[in-house]
Structure 1
Amino acid sequence: MKMSIKFKISVVLALLIILTVAALSVLVLKGIENNQRNRVEEELLQKSEVAKQSIRQSYLTEDNSVSIESFLQQKAQRLASSIALQSGLQTVIYNQKGMEEGSSLPIGQRDVEIADTLSYALKGQVAYETKGSSLFYVAPLSIENQQIGAIRFDYSLADNQEFLAEIKRLFLIGGIASAGAAILIGYLYFYRIANRVTTLKNASFQLQNGTFLNSPPFQGRDELGELSSGLYVMSTAIQRSIAELNEEKRKLELAVVKLQALEQQQKQFIGNISHEFKTPLTSIKAYVDLLDMYRDDPQLLEDGVENIRKETGRLHEMVDKILRLAELERYDFEQMPQHLQLDEVVADVCKRMQGKATKFNLKLKVNIHKAVVFADRESLFHIFMNLIDNAIKYNEAGGEIVVTSHQDNEHVGIDVANTGAGIPMDAREKLFHPFFTVNKDRSRISGGTGLGLALVKKLTEKQQGNVELRRSDTEWTLFRVTFPRKLNEESK
């Protein structure tokens, strides 16, 4: 049967009190008995001395011709009655042979067997024995250094025994009352402690079942309060550790997914590189073979040199952009952001691209406002160089390229728009993927590699910006690049 801790503590406390009361009772009762015995002995010793002195004086006042034995036979009864009256105790006088010579006892009370005790007294020793509520005290009698017999006092122990019994009764009642009070007080006193222990037990079961504590089970400045705080700290630490483990697991799973995706992208990237490199190399090899076969054909020589130059330039551009994409994946420390006037950078790029636009009979219009951004200058050059270059490549003769800006309190954006054929809807999701081109034939003619927009996206994200296709139809195609705005010194 399961017992609660409150009951156990109460029972233990009651047992301790009972043992304490019992031990105290034994010691007190023993002390009372010793005290009573010593007091009775002293009292009887005094009475015996007084009786001896009375007998001695009585003998000395008699005629010296009377022997001690005769004196005792003649005077014992009178002396016993006198001593009994004087001491208040029943008195019996014995001769040296143990025969009763005088007694103050009634005739019916004289048959008391104390032979052993009397024999000690006749040998010169004080002796006594207890029978029931009576104590028989026997002391030797002597006159002129000659023992003549013994004197006995009958002492009633009824009062002492009654007093001792009353003390025992009080201790018994007190012990029972103390035990009962201890159980009740202990139960009430330890109720709060036991409840706290039960609360701690329930909290430990809660932790065991995987439910964490939102707060300490209770507050306290004692050991139980410290244990409560310790359980809460332990619960919090376990919960934090499990959360960290789950987070690490999630990161590992995400890393595995990313690695798998990266592996797939790498395979696709390598396949695209191989395919894209193979096309211009095949064209170069074909013209080399033709030139080797027809060395004297001037027209073939002119066409071959021109096409080899174009394919070589395309290869050079492709290698340059692939290397730049690879560097962006590995070396973040090459970025050196600073406060730049974005309008000046864009204007510089447009000025450099003006010649190429004119070559293809295109109009390049620029309308931008002052704005400050925090970015890498070289990256900004590559971003707008590629966007304007694409606007030139995928335009129509006589078309336009328009570069404009817009800004608010937090962002500044540059729009690069061009006329020409739009981008189909099904191609827009892959527009920023490496080696993706909308029109393969158009890319070969214009020298496109499918890496420009991928490079633009990577560089823009490195500057905490964003690039997106905002419009593409039969009239215009518009790309917008947005950067976080920084206030310049004049606007502060």
Structure 2
Amino acid sequence: MSGQKAVSGAAKARKRRRPYISLRWRFLAALAALLVLTIAVLSTLVLRDIERNQRQRVESILKQRSELANLRISQTYLGDPQVDAQTFLRRSGPQLAADVSNLLSGTHVVIYNADGIEVGNSQPLSRTGNVADTLAIANQGKTVYQEADSQLIYMSPLVWTIGQVGVVQFEYSLAGDQQFYHTIALSIRTIGLIALAASFLLGLIYVQRVVHAIRKLQQATEQIRSGEYIVEPPVKRSDELGDLSEGITYMSLAIKQSMDRQKQFIGSISHEFKTPLTSIIAYTDLLDMYRDDPELLEEARCNMRREADRLLEMVEKVLRLSALEQYEFNQNAEPVELASLLAECCSRMSGKATKFELSLTTKLAEVTVMADRESLVHLFLNLLDNAIKYNVQGGEIVVSSTAEGGYAVISVRDTGIGIPEEAMDKLFQPFYTVSKDRARSTGGTGLGLSLVKQLAELQQGKIAVKSAIGAGSEFTVTLPLAPEAPKRLQRGNKSETKAT
């Protein structure tokens, strides 16, 4: 109870430290951020690509115009070779600018000589702004341009066979390209906002469904915590949430079965403890009433001792069953010679077999298994004890061992009362006995075979049983051989011991 309070207090403290933010809003915030980032990146890339294509197209157009202008001016000069290039440009510049402008569909053309002096202008009344720096670079034989508002001023050197003789300047309007760019940018933003809104709406619907499923899973866990176990998956989906839902359902059923077994175990052990205690109390009451009855005294002594022994046996087996919950095979396993171990167990039980007028025979092969020796002792002592308790007077018990295909096979066979077929499924359940009257008369607790099964499984083995009413029972335990055991020739040394 105090542990639950501590956990609850820690949970409340965490809630106080951190503000509660619904998973829905976290998902939506992350989705919105992702969508905005995606649209921003795509818009930037698209607009940058449009701008680059526009620039390349303009440069290509102006380069072609520059080549045409260079060709037209040089051809005109070759038709009048009597003067030098600079005189030719100074005298024919205005006409050349007009001719080139007409050739280029009215483009504003300005021609400069080698000294950077304007010698021709297709639009004499139109003046260009400050282009001195740009012109100085062009006079060095480089193509250069500068932007001024919506105008692009492009300058290219006039290069003839005699070298650079001047510079030709074109003006190109960027208004159309800029308008196209702004229209595309506006369209992208509009489409982006619409896509953002649509994606956000679809994301909201999807997240709502996911959050609804998570809330169902949360409610299911709350039900399990309050003791209301679920038998059907709260969420049926073909994804991770569906897998989680099935896992929670499986966990719920496993917890329910465990709790039911625990309740049954407590009920059974309470009943089994109550029976011998009731008998002991009854005899103490009788002894108080008839203190001088020697026969009653002897009977009470024997019965009270038997019931006390039965109580002690139950306590020991319950403690061993509890200890098996923390058992670790790898920390206890060791090579164990079965022949000597089984011989020792049979020797320890021979007195009890003699008491019930039973013969105990062994047919043991020299085999070695990898197991916990102490656990094997308890396992086989319980099987032998069971064979003695449920045998008939003058009956027989045969213990044998052999090696078969990498496994040791140990058999404990008796000639007792046998086990009904309908009892086979319950035989290894705690406190289950085939015959309750026989169990009480022989001191059986119903815990032995349950303990045997758990011990066998913890040794990486298994147990099986064959039985028929009136024909006795045979319990077969299979254990893995030790790693070196299959390499040796396994030969059986048979010994027989009879107790009558």
Contact 1:196-1:224 within 8 A present in 2 as well: yes
- The TM-score normalised by the length of structure 1 is 0.55
- Report whether the alignment pairs 1:53 with 2:71: yes
- Report whether the alignment pairs 1:169 with 2:200: no
1:224: how far off?
1.2
- Report whether the alignment pairs 1:143 with 2:155: no
Q: CA RMSD in A?
A: 3.2
Local SS of the residue matching 1:101:
strand
Contact 1:10-1:182 within 8 A present in 2 as well: no
- Residue 229 and residue 153 in structure 1: after superposition, are their counterparts in 2 closer, same or farther (change >3 A)? same
Q: Give the corresponding residue for 1:24.
A: 42
Q: Deviations over 1:7-64 (max 9, x none)?
A: 43344333323222222222222221211111111111111111111111111112x3
1:325: how far off?
8.2
- Report whether the alignment pairs 1:200 with 2:213: no
Contact 1:129-1:135 within 8 A present in 2 as well: yes
Out of 90, 107, 118, the residue aligned to residue 108 of structure 2 is 90
1:201 & 1:185 partners in 2: Cα distance?
Answer: 24
Local SS of the residue matching 1:147:
strand
Unaligned 5+ segments in structure 2 are 1-18, 311-355, 357-388, 394-416, 418-436, 442-500
- Residue 260 and residue 87 in structure 1: after superposition, are their counterparts in 2 closer, same or farther (change >3 A)? same
- Residue 208 and residue 106 in structure 1: after superposition, are their counterparts in 2 closer, same or farther (change >3 A)? farther
Which residue identity does 1:113 align to in structure 2?
A: N
Q: Give the corresponding residue for 1:188.
A: 205
- Residue 209 and residue 106 in structure 1: after superposition, are their counterparts in 2 closer, same or farther (change >3 A)? farther
Contact 2:94-2:121 within 8 A present in 1 as well: yes
Contact 1:93-1:101 within 8 A present in 2 as well: yes
2:140 & 2:198 partners in 1: Cα distance?
Answer: 57
Q: Specify the structure having the higher radius of gyration (Cα).
A: 1
1:122 & 1:232 partners in 2: Cα distance?
Answer: 85
User: Which deviates more, 157-166 or 234-243?
Assistant: 234-243
- Report whether the alignment pairs 1:134 with 2:151: yes
Q: Deviations over 1:300-329 (max 9, x none)?
A: xxxxxxxxxxxxxxx7xx899989989998
User: Which deviates more, 170-179 or 140-149?
Assistant: 140-149
Local SS of the residue matching 1:247:
helix
After superposition, residues 54-453 of structure 1 pair within 5 angstroms as 54-62=72-80, 64-88=81-105, 89-107=107-125, 109-270=126-287, 275-277=292-294, 333=390
2:86 & 2:22 partners in 1: Cα distance?
Answer: 81
- Residue 9 and residue 106 in structure 1: after superposition, are their counterparts in 2 closer, same or farther (change >3 A)? farther
Local SS of the residue matching 1:275:
coil
2:199 & 2:222 partners in 1: Cα distance?
Answer: 32
- Residue 326 and residue 334 in structure 1: after superposition, are their counterparts in 2 closer, same or farther (change >3 A)? farther
1:125: how far off?
0.9
1:208: how far off?
2.7
Moved over 6 A (4+): 318-332
1:335 & 1:266 partners in 2: Cα distance?
Answer: 29
Which residue identity does 1:208 align to in structure 2?
A: R
